[in-house]
Amino acid sequence: MEFLTEKSYVTVADVEKVLGYLKTDTNVTEASIKEAIKSASDEVDLITHTRYWVINDSGTVSTGGTTTLTDTTKSEDWTADKWANCVVWIYGGTGAGQFARIASNTTTVITFHTDDELDTATDNTSKYRILPDVMEVRKYDGDNKRFKYLPLYPIRNLVYLEIDDTEVTPSKVYIYEDVGRIELHSKLSPEYSIFNKNYPQNTTIKWTYGVYPIPSSIKRLTCGIAAIKSLVVQMGGTYRTLSTYSIPHFSGSTGQAYINIKGTIDEMIKETNELIKRVKKYPQVV
């Protein structure tokens, strides 16, 4: 399996297919395409108001716990602090459904931030994935209402909730994932029944959010935006490309590079705009 590094929703090969490139082509460098993908991934987040989960690595726990995770099979792949500030998602086995931000790692051991210790210890049945940071922590004013709308969603997991110095058990909170709403309802007997407004910013909420797996429409949109950015780079170099030339006893033509590239960009912009309309009309959900 090809893991994607950092926040890149598609691979270089994906964008090359959209561009119609062959591995022997050198019009746009791989480094340029990688930069275009990172930028395109950020733009997709802004367009759709969420984040898509990229799997940077995964495995099965060798030795578990609540503060660390050990995977002895990674000794040749991991370097010190390679995953610092990423998030571990326990997605299978003991402790499934938990998330924790990584403070540091060695070649085999991940250590969680002290504020992100797991409630249920993992063991050798636990399966994990490493994601870019998809965890948010914010402070809010209370308003004496029993619900709040979180600005980043879909909500995948309510990690922590504190109201007026009192911790509220996440399992006692109703979560409406797709609209970002959390609600304190008497039926679940939460420790607080309203978001008390005794003083400013007395509510602390920590949650994970985003969409997994990445929908095909989002991959296509990312490819389209990245391809346009790559073609713009290529177009910038066409000043060195002769359209026609003539020397004694011979004349020839290499084609009008700028016009050809611009035509391609125009068509890709049309397709990308249609995709943007589609993903805005049908919001991406978990």
In tens, the pLDDT along 21-67 reads 655 555 678 888 999 999 999 999 999 889 999 999 999 999 999 99
pLDDT at 228: 93
Structural contact between residues 1 and 56, judged by C-beta atoms closer than 8 angstroms = no
Assess whether pLDDT exceeds 50 at residue 4: no
Q: How confident is the model at residue 233 (pLDDT cuts 50, 70, 90)?
A: confident
The percentage of residues in the chain with a pLDDT greater than 90, rounded to a whole number, is 72
> Higher confidence at residue 1 or residue 73?
73
Of the candidates 52, 57, 56, 26, the one whose C-alpha atom is nearest the C-alpha of residue 222 is 52
* Average pLDDT for 206-222: 95
> What mean pLDDT, rounded, does the chain reach?
88
Average pLDDT for residues 203-220, to the nearest whole number? 95
CA nearest neighbour of 195 among 208, 182, 207, 209: 182
For 26, the token pair is 């050198």
Better-scored residue on pLDDT, 32 or 248: 32
What is the pLDDT at residue 113?
A: 96
Q: Residue 2: pLDDT above 50? A: no
Q: Report the DSSP beta bridge partners of residue 131.
A: 87
End-to-end CA, the chain: 22
Average pLDDT over residues 93-98: 97
Question: How far, in Å, CA of 260 to CA of 257, rounded?
Answer: 5
Kindly indicate the confidence band of residue 262, based on its pLDDT and cuts at 50, 70 and 90.
Answer: confident
Beta bridge partners of 57: 130
Please indicate whether residue 244 or residue 20 has the higher confidence score (pLDDT): 20
| 52 DSSP 8-state letter | B
Alpha-carbon distance of 204 to 142, in angstroms, equals 10
Contact 111, 104 (CB under 8 A): yes
What pLDDT score does 21 carry? 66
